[in-house]
Amino acid sequence: MSDTLGNKDQNNNKKDLEQKKLRRMRMIRSLLPIVGLVLVFFLFNFLTDGKMMHKLPLAMSQVYVIMIASMGVFFIMTMGGLDFSQGSILGLSAIVVCSLSQYSVPLAIIGGILTGAAIGAINGYFYVNRKIKSFIVTICTMFLFRGLIKYLTTEALVAGSFELIELDSTALKVGCTAAVVAVGFVFFCFTKFGTYLKAIGAGEKAAKFSGIRTDRIKFLVYVLSGAITGFAAFILSIKNGSVTSSGGNQLETQILIALVLGGMPISGGAMARFGNFIVGSLLFVVLNSGLNMIGFSIPMMQLIEGIVFLIFVAIFADRKAIHVIK
């Protein structure tokens, strides 16, 4: 009897060791994006003889829009959804921001946010009420609103007012981004909604049976994500001053790559970390501008980014949960 007990203790010790190993693996996985960011940054600095450091502010000017918009998609992906309509949301909201800026800048900001929220509501309605998979719904709205953007910009680009363009300053852009991220951080990590989103991503039915109003939250998160990107359109507009037919083009893929580079699990759930989209959008922008500075052509850059994307997906995809993408 005591013999079997001794055996059991040994087993438990072994189990503990293995558990520790598992946890170490998990930690390495969560540190990888940050290590990657630092490595890529130094690598490009080395390759470009420090040019990158000098051009850092310029590179960073690309980060704001991606980081803000990817926060909304981060919420969506945490609950197991996807959103491919972000680029179109950004483009259309930017048109609204530029047009309304002729009257008043605050009105323009509100208009942009409402436009984004409205498209988010359309996504949410078809996803939640009509029960269509989110990636199909958002691909549809992506095409629909891309069409509308092209229609609105056929004659000429839509230009923002002078007051709007005058606002362009690094302080404002950094301030706005930091504020949005800070609010998002509190929302995700210190209110019940963060836990709810993770629960929906990890097991929607069980989440529902724990008293979470899953349908309402899913709808609201799409609206929220649209609204956040609507706000990002304001930042984009003060930076660019106008919108063309390609405004916001490919933002959805950039966001997706950024999130995956940041270690976001594709199927969402409890392993989602708030830092995922922050590190990810920084990594994406550093990679992008680094490759650009080295002198790669755009097709070559896409090729390299595609390979990096694949590698990260291979590392971070939770194969057991992959079928739950909604």
CB of 191 to other proteins, least distance (A): 5
Which of 212, 204, 209 is closest to 325 using CA atoms?
204
CA-CA-CA-CA torsion sign (314, 317, 319, 325):
negative
CB 272 → other proteins: shortest distance, Å? 11
Give the nearest distance from C-beta 326 to other proteins in angstroms: 15
Smallest separation, CB 25 to other proteins (Å): 11
Write out the binding residues for other proteins, residues 43-82 only, by CB under 8 A.
none
Count of residues engaged in binding other proteins, rule: CB under 8 A = 33
Q: Which is nearer to other proteins, 201 or 290 (CB)?
A: 201
Q: Count Cβ atoms below 10 Å from residue 250 Cβ, excluding itself.
A: 11
SS (H, E, C) the chain: CHHHHHHHHHHHHHHHHHHHHHHHHHHHHHHHHHHHHHHHHHHHHHHCCCHHHHCHHHHHCCHHHHHHHHHHHHHHHHCCCCCCCHHHHHHHHHHHHHHHCCCCHHHHHHHHHHHHHHHHHHHHHHHHHCCCCHHHHHHHHHHHHHHHHHHHCCCCCEECCHHHHHCCCHHHHHHHHHHHHHHHHHHHHHCHHHHHHHHHHHCHHHHHHCCCCHHHHHHHHHHHHHHHHHHHHHHHHHHHCEECCCCCCCHHHHHHHHHHHCCCCCCCCCCCCCHHHHHHHHHHHHHHHHHHHHCCCHHHHHHHHHHHHHHHHHHHCCCCCHHHCC
Nearer to other proteins, 65 or 271 (CB): 271
- Among the residue ranges 97-105, 177-185, 228-236, 269-277, the one whose residues contact other proteins (CB under 8 A): 269-277
Closest CB 143 distance from other proteins, rounded Å: 32
Q: Which one of residues 130, 192, 319, 323 is an interface residue with other proteins (CB under 8 A)?
A: 192
287 binds other proteins (CB under 8 A): no
With CB under 8 A as the contact rule, the residue among 59, 266, 321, 326 that binds other proteins is 321
Q: Which stretch in 129-137, 230-238, 265-273, 301-309 sits in contact with other proteins by CB under 8 A?
A: 265-273
Q: Considering the complex, what minimum distance in angstroms separates the CB of residue 323 from other proteins?
A: 13
Residues 4-43 that bind other proteins (CB under 8 A): 4, 8, 11, 15-16, 18-19, 21-22
Closer CB to other proteins, 173 or 198, in the complex: 198
First to last CA, the chain: 51
Q: Please, what is the minimum distance in Å from the beta carbon of residue 250 to other proteins? A: 32
Q: Does 212 bind other proteins (CB under 8 A)?
A: yes
Closer CB to other proteins, 57 or 190, in the complex: 190
Q: What character string, x for contact with other proteins (CB under 8 A) and - otherwise, covers 218-257?
A: ----------------------------------------
List contacts with other proteins (CB under 8 A).
4, 8, 11, 15-16, 18-19, 21-22, 186, 190-192, 195-196, 198-199, 202-203, 205-213, 269-271, 318, 321
